[in-house]
Amino acid sequence: MTLATAITFARILLIPVFMFLVTSRLQYGDTAAAVIFAIAALTDSLDGYAARMRKEVTRFGQLIDPLADKLLVTAALFTLVEMGRVSSWIAIIIVGREFAVSGLRIVAAVEGVVIPASTLGKVKTALQMVAIVALLLQWPFGPFLMILATVFTVLSGVEYFYNSRGLFLG
């Protein structure tokens, strides 16, 4: 197993820890959950960096890394909806886009094409992560950041499908 893949799996293993903390009634549970979420989010950059620096970029890593991000964000969004801090519509839009782009990546992989992360996609991910931390900590600008993240989520989804239209048009 490469270092990058191990880091990605560590991110996945942090999800249940995050879920426990955010749903517990522990004093400072939200703060601890925000810290765990932030650590997990930071590993997203770290695993990619490790893969590139060690020349260990693999197809498996290119598939599992975005999946880990989607699992982390989806778990956080479902929890925030349950807590009343995020509209269910925002969660549906974000999770729906994530499934759609994942499906697109699967179709592309079958055709032997790898769809790399775009700049808009990276901005979307960063905004989602920051917005989730802000909402967990109940910062006043959290809702604005989540709306901004949702806009970038939609825009990046449109970009991925537009740039991959050749997969469907032949």
pLDDT digits (tens, 9 = 90+) for 12-62: 999 999 999 999 989 999 999 999 999 999 998 898 888 888 888 887 887
The CB density around residue 160, as the number of other CB atoms within 10 Å, is 20
Do residues 54 and 18 lie in contact, with contact meaning Cβ atoms separated by under 8 Å? no
The reported pLDDT for the residue numbered 91 is: 98
Kindly report the CATH class assigned to 3-169: mainly alpha
Q: How far apart are CA 121 and CA 103, in angstroms?
A: 15
Task: Output DSSP code: residue 118.
Answer: P
The reported pLDDT for the residue numbered 114 is: 82
φ, ψ of residue 70 in degrees (nearest 5): -65, -40
pLDDT exceeds cutoff 80 at 170: no
